[in-house]
Amino acid sequence: MDIRSLQKPLKEQYRRDPGSSQITLTAKGSETGTPLSCSVD
């Protein structure tokens, strides 16, 4: 199976409903004695 045939259903869905392609990410960070880091859920 090639990549285009795998992508086809997703692309069709996104054309019908563009909002379905968006996701919401949240990030949390904190200050510590170590270098700056954060996690994304």
Phi, psi of 40 (to 5 degrees): -115, 125
Q: What is the pLDDT of residue 6?
A: 93
pLDDT single digits (tens) 1-41? 799 999 999 999 999 999 998 888 887 777 777 777 667 76
Q: Nearest to residue 27, comparing CAs of 16, 14, 36, 18?
A: 36
- Residue identified by tokens 């992508």 is 7
Distance CA 36, CA 38 (A): 7
Report residue 11 as tokens: 């692309």
The span from the CA of 10 to the CA of 31, in Å, is 40
Alpha-carbon gap, residue 17 to 38, rounded angstroms: 32
